[in-house]
């Protein structure tokens, strides 16, 4: 990473460079050095850090966060695809040339949050605002995990050393250890009530995430711990008990969900990345995989059953049914009346944002909360861990809870612009859960049940977590207990539909961000095989290996 980038603190105007020393004291007092470190209230730093969760909006760097990379990762996991043919990311390609594609989480971690977060923790420590310290450490732990799961080897030990011009990469195992160490430090500070800890004061900086609720932040930290242990499910020393322990301590109700919220003032930076104001979803259409999974045309355990959540999450076509597009094939194979609406309710061919949100649903509205971690996800993680452990009763209970929580999240937060007669009711939900195809006996519960219901529950926002899951299952792994593919009917691109740079392999990582590493850090890139490395994005990561 370039030294200058590591010094930019764009969100709050904090600039760290060497201050001049030749001016007299009187001149210094009269004309403050604009290049000197400027201390600001920690309460004013936290909002920018939270803004980076989904997609920041600032002159020094916009779109840092989950959502921009999520548009590309969402194609890998077949949440959605481009409405045109032969798109590189529909074909599981990676960034090439001078492109910053797949660099948004890198930019979020090192630049958007970066030194801003360091300053907040430093100054909050001096001011004994231990809740702000704990929140900062929680965010950094989460960010390290998101970063390494996308890129693999990253810059850890030298990350924020502003005396360096080039930076060495560290192993993913070291990053995972750091994530957990930070989590425990965060919990220690979040548990403190001394000094200047104040829920009301924390709420000033935390208005758009957890509202200053320290208990929610602790649940968020436990969720990070749960993910960090669970993503190592292929390891011989996988710790199912640790996963279950931390999911039990994490969010258990939808009131605990960690979601980014928006003021929606009419300015793009105050609205959702997926809404019509920021207009980033115009070329995307739901995939055939999710459509068939929810309309009953998938050969999964849910075959023949239309999921009542489909009217909340997906878009119908002129026939009043639900269809989706195949990777890089656009309208191929879809007659006009089977082509789904765009995510804002316009026609398939329309890519421009509409004038209003009268037809917009789910997370595709300007002020729709964007989930970062939910109770439903924690339950599905627990269900998988328990099934791996052989505790089928616990697995079934957690699995059922996960589905139930997702239904309730939809009806409480996203019950907007649903066609009359298609609203989910208590009876609708109960009937769905009563079907043995959906909730089988404990003896008949499979990984397919758990992973496909988790896929549905995380649809359109949890693409990074689903990508971690699919890589753990190598996209097409077969469940040895059933002899069937875990992700039923999931078909990655192959042959001419797979990107030629892949050399026949599937994608497992992103290359580091171009606009720092490939300009200034070539020796370090070479050491990890990322330069020139046209197929570096196909190198399997440590976390998914045995």
Instruction: For 330-339, write each residue's pLDDT tens digit.
Output: 998 899 999 9
140-175 pLDDT per residue, tens: 999 999 999 999 999 999 999 999 999 999 999 999
Residue 295 lies in a domain: no
Does the pLDDT value for residue 14 go beyond 60?
no
Residue 25 is predicted with a pLDDT of 53
CB 138 within 8 A of CB 152: no
Token output for 234: 């292929």
Tell whether 91 is covered by a domain: no
Token pair listed for 204: 């000033």
Number of domains in the chain: 1
What pTM was estimated for this model as a whole? Answer: 0.93
Q: What is the pLDDT of residue 125?
A: 98
Stated as kind and residue range, the H or E segment containing 377 is: helix 375-389
The phi, psi pair for 285, rounded to 5°, reads: -135, 150
Question: Which pLDDT score, from 0 to 100, does residue 269 have?
Answer: 87
Let me know if 418 is exposed, middle or buried by CB neighbors in 10 A (0-12, 13-18, 19+): middle
Is 55 among the domain residues?
A: no
Percent above pLDDT 90 for the chain: 89
pLDDT at 38 (0 to 100)? 83
The reported pLDDT for the residue numbered 23 is: 47
Residue 4 clears pLDDT 80, i.e. is over it: no
User: Phi, psi at residue 260, to the nearest 5°?
Assistant: -80, 130
Q: What is the mean pLDDT of residues 509-530?
A: 96
Contact 530, 511 (CB under 8 A): yes
User: How many Å apart are CA 203 and CA 192, to the nearest integer?
Assistant: 16
In a domain, 191, yes or no: yes
* pLDDT range class, residue 61, cuts 50, 70, 90: low
Q: What is the pLDDT of residue 56?
A: 81
SS3 41: coil
* Strands 258-260 vs 370-373: parallel, antiparallel or unpaired: antiparallel
The yes-or-no verdict on residue 17 having pLDDT over 70 is: no
pLDDT tens-digit map of 431-456: 999 999 999 999 999 999 999 999 99
Query: How far apart are the C-alpha atoms of 52 and 9, rounded to whole Å?
Result: 13
**Overall average pLDDT of the 396-410 stretch:** 98
Place of tokens 């197929």: 535
- Read off the pLDDT of residues 176-229 as tens digits, 9 standing for 90 and up: 999 999 999 999 999 999 999 999 999 999 999 999 999 999 999 999 999 999
- For residue 404, which phi and psi values (nearest 5 degrees)? -60, -45
Cα-Cα-Cα-Cα dihedral sign, residues 26, 32, 35, 40: positive
Q: How confident is the model at residue 3 (pLDDT cuts 50, 70, 90)?
A: very low
* Average pLDDT score over the chain: 93
483 occurs within a structural domain: no
In angstroms, the first-to-last Cα distance of the chain is: 31
Judged against a pLDDT cut of 60, whether residue 390 lies above it is answered with yes
Structural domain for 220, as ranges: 3-49+102-265+513-544
Q: Are the C-beta atoms of 53 and 65 separated by less than 8 Å? A: yes
Cα atoms in the Cβ-side hemisphere of radius 13 Å centred on 511: 29
Q: What is the pLDDT of residues 338-360, one digit of tens each?
A: 999 999 999 999 999 999 999 99
pLDDT band at residue 6 under the 50/70/90 scheme: very low
Residue 257 lies in a domain: yes
pLDDT at position 333: 86
**Which residues partner with 233 through β-bridges?**
none
Helices and strands (H and E) in the chain: how many: 20, 8
Beta bridge partners of 175: none
Proportion of the chain above pLDDT 70, given as a percent: 92
Evaluate if residue 7 carries a pLDDT over 50.
no
Rg (CA), the chain: 23
Distance of CA 143 to the CA centre of its chain: 10
pLDDT of residue 15: 30
Rounded to an integer, the average pLDDT of 297-309 is 97
In 3D, which of 546, 461, 468, 458 has the Cα closest to residue 507? Answer: 468
Cα(85)–Cα(107) distance, integer angstroms:
29
pLDDT band at 34 (very low <50, low <70, confident <90, very high): low
275-314 burial: b if 16+ Cβ within 10 Å, else e: bbbbebbeebbbbbbbbbbbbbbbebbbeebebbbbbbbb
Cα–Cα dist 93/289, whole Å? 19
Q: Domain of 194: which CATH number?
A: 1.25.40.390
At 11, the pLDDT band (50, 70, 90 cuts) reads very low
- Residue 22, pLDDT score: 46
């Amino acid at each position: 990473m370039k030294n200058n980038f590591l010094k930019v603190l764009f969100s709050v105007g904090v600039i760290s460079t060497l201050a001049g020393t030749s001016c007299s004291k009187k001149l210094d007092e009269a004309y403050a050095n604009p290049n000197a470190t400027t201390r600001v209230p920690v309460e004013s730093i936290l909002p920018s850090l939270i803004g980076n969760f989904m997609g920041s909006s600032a002159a020094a760097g916009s779109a840092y966060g989950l959502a921009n990379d999520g548009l590309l990762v969402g194609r890998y996991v077949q949440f959605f695809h481009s409405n045109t043919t032969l798109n590189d990311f529909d074909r599981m390609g990676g960034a090439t040339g001078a492109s910053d594609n797949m660099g948004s989480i890198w930019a979020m971690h090192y630049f958007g949050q970066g030194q801003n977060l360091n300053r907040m923790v430093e100054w909050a420590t001096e001011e004994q605002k231990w809740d702000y310290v704990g929140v900062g450490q929680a965010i950094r732990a989460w960010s390290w995990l998101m970063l390494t799961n996308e890129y693999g080897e990253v810059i850890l030990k030298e990350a924020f050393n502003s005396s360096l011009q080039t930076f060495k990469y560290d192993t993913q195992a070291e990053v995972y250890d750091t994530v957990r160490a930070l989590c425990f430090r965060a919990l220690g500070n979040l548990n403190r009530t001394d000094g200047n800890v104040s829920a009301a004061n924390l709420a000033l900086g935390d208005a758009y995430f957890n509202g200053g609720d320290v208990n929610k932040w602790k649940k968020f930290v436990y969720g990070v711990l749960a993910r960090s242990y669970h993503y190592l499910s292929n390891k011989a020393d996988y710790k199912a008990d640790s996963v279950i322990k931390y999911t039990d301590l994490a969010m258990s109700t939808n009131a605990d969900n960690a979601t980014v919220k928006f003021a929606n003032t009419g300015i793009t930076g105050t609205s959702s990345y997926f809404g019509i104001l920021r207009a980033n979803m115009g070329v995307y259409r739901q995939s055939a995989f999710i459509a068939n999974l929810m309309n009953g045309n998938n050969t999964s355990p849910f075959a023949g059953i239309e999921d009542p959540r489909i009217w909340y999450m997906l878009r119908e076509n002129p026939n009043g049914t639900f269809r989706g597009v195949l990777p890089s094939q656009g309208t191929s194979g879809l007659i006009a009346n089977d082509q789904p609406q765009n995510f804002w309710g316009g026609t398939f061919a329309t890519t421009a944002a509409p004038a209003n949100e009268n037809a917009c649903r789910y997370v595709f509205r300007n002020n729709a909360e964007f989930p970062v971690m939910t109770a439903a996800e924690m339950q599905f993680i627990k269900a998988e861990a328990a099934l791996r452990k052989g505790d089928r009763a616990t697995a079934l209970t957690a699995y059922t809870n996960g589905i139930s929580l997702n239904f309730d999240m939809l009806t409480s937060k996203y019950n907007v612009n649903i066609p009359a007669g298609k609203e989910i009711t208590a009876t609708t939900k109960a009937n769905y859960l009563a079907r043995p195809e959906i909730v089988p006996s404990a003896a008949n519960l499979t990984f397919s049940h758990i992973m496909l219901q988790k896929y549905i529950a995380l649809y359109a926002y949890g693409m990074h977590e689903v990508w971690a899951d699919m890589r753990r299952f190598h996209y097409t792994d077969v469940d040895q207990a059933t002899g069937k593919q875990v992700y039923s009917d999931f078909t990655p691109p192959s042959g001419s539909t797979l990107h030629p740079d892949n050399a026949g392999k599937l994608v497992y990582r992103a290359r580091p961000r171009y606009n720092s590493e490939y300009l200034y850090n070539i020796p370090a890139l070479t050491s990890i095989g990322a330069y020139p490395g046209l197929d570096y994005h196909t190198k399997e990561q440590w976390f998914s290996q045995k």
